[in-house]
């Protein structure tokens, strides 16, 4: 079974430029998460989708970040414009939510460097 | 909100020695707790999870963790370290309520294994 796929794996951009990350979750998983992991820290949730609906986006900086999950499968996370402080690893995870203890499966992440 | 504290950002052991990685959590309700491992340039992989069943949880690669409610702890152990265990380890608690599904991670502990 294929795992969570993310692309690109690495991205270097100049500040003020836009950038987009793509995630393909595990087939059949209804819940998708985007996390941001700063250097030397644990991941922090940006947004959670249940099917097509964003059910928790309280930590998403909405002035520059946006996300979508069309058709409840793939998802795209966008930053426009990027700032130096956005340099981090962006992780996508998916799960099949059932009794509340469902495991989240993580992709390899996209390492963003803003110069 | 729930939180996780990992004591010790770096732990160093000799090959064959006991591995002990500490995790304390704060939660007003019985939590779901997880340990993840992250190898360089990879996503997070689940080692084990506690979901209110047995307090001693066995995971992959010989790791286990014990849930101690009185100490609000969920320490990760392995009797004999192997070189391949060198990685970063994250403890996480699963949110309840309106943030249901969100994982809150600790800061991580980097494990180094010496020959």
pLDDT in tens, B30-42: 778 999 999 988 8
pLDDT in tens, A73-100: 999 999 999 999 999 999 999 998 765 5
Q: For chain B, what percent of residues have pLDDT higher than 70?
A: 93
Query: Cβ of B32 and A100 within 8 Å?
Result: yes
> Best mutation site among B5, B45, B101, B106 for testing chain A: the one with the most A CBs within 10 Å?
B101
Please provide residue B98's backbone torsions phi and psi, each rounded to the nearest 5 degrees: -70, -20
CB-CB neighbors (< 8 A) of A101 in chain B:
32, 49, 51, 94
pLDDT at A103 over 90: no
Tokens in use for A25? 């979750």
Location of structure tokens 């970040």: A65
Query: Cβ of A4 and B43 within 8 Å?
Result: yes
Mean pLDDT value across chain B:
91
Considering only the beta carbons, identify the residue of A42, A100, A109 that sits closest to B90: A42
> What is the pLDDT at residue B54?
84
Q: 10-residue block means of pLDDT along chain B (115 residues)?
A: 90 97 86 92 91 88 94 96 97 75 91 96
Say how far apart CA A2 and CA A13 lie, in whole Å: 29
């Amino acid at each position: 079974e294929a795992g969570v796929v993310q692309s690109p794996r690495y991205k270097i951009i100049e500040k003020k430029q836009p950038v987009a990350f793509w995630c393909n979750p595990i087939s059949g998983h209804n819940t998708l998460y985007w996390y941001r992991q700063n250097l030397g820290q644990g991941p922090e949730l940006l947004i959670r989708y249940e099917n097509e609906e964003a059910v928790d986006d309280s930590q998403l900086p909405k002035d520059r970040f946006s996300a979508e999950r069309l058709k409840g499968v793939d998802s795209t996370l966008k930053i426009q414009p990027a700032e130096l402080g956005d340099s981090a690893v962006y992780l996508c995870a998916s799960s099949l939510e059932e009794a509340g203890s469902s495991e989240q499966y993580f992709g390899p992440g996209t390492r963003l460097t803003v110069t | 909100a729930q939180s996780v504290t990992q004591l010790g950002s770096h732990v160093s052991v000799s090959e064959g020695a006991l591995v002990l990685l500490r995790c304390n959590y704060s939660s007003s309700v019985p939590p779901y707790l997880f340990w993840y491992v992250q190898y360089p340039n990879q996503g997070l992989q689940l080692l084990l999870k506690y979901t209110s069943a047995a307090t001693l949880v066995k995971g992959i690669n010989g790791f286990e963790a014990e849930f101690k409610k009185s100490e609000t702890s969920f320490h990760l152990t392995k009797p004999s370290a192997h070189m391949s265990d060198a990685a970063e380890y994250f403890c996480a608690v699963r949110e309840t309520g309106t943030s249901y599904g969100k994982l809150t991670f600790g800061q991580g502990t980097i494990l180094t294994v010496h020959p």
